[in-house]
Homo-oligomer: A and B are copies of this chain.
């Protein structure tokens, strides 16, 4: 599944992602880059709304889990966040730019093994919202995946 297809799936199945104009822009071996419209996601102080910032990191990290699960050949899975820690370090003043760190090969190997043996595994994913080189939001979420 490519990013465009996953983006369409999000829009179709999760109305909030379409309203927020969340985009899945780019992926390589290390990270997934996503973004969201500033206009749709601003607050009373004309900076990025915390709820929107939180939503972008949460769904981007979910996408990292989803893409890894698909890659291992599991088309039907249940992926749910179980906990998250978020720090808001600086206001965001333009379209949100989000960088999600993909699991390392070591993490993926363990993940694969657990899915094979137990049909269930978890991933801890980090995601950041960055503006002009400055980290504005730091997020870490734990996701459970059942196949």
Chain B hits for A39, CB < 8 A: 15
Specify which of A10, A13, A15, A91 lies most central, judged by the most chain B CB atoms within 10 Å of its CB: A15
The answer to whether A83 and B85 touch (CB under 8 A), given A43-B14, A49-B16, A55-B51, is: yes
- Residues of B within 8 Å of A17, CB to CB, are 51
Complex Cα distance, B53 from A83, in Å, reads: 12
Check A134 for interface membership: any CB of B closer than 8 A.
no
Cβ of A42: which chain B residues have Cβ within 8 Å of it? 14-15
A52 at the interface (CB under 8 A from B): yes
The reply to whether the CB of A114 lies closer than 8 angstroms to some CB of chain B is: no
Q: Which size bracket describes the interface of A in this complex?
A: 35 or more
What is the minimal beta-carbon distance from A55 to any residue of chain B, in angstroms?
Answer: 3
Confirm or deny: A62 has a beta carbon within 8 angstroms of a beta carbon on chain B: yes
The answer, among B15, B52, B81, for a CB contact under 8 Å with A50, is: B81
Contact B62 A50 (CB under 8 A): yes
Known: A55-B52, A58-B54. A13 touches B43 (CB 8 A): yes
Partner of A16 from B10, B41, B87, B88 at Cβ < 8 Å: B41
A residues with a Cβ closer than 8 A to B are 9-10, 13-17, 19-20, 39-45, 49-52, 54-56, 58-59, 62, 78, 80-89, 91
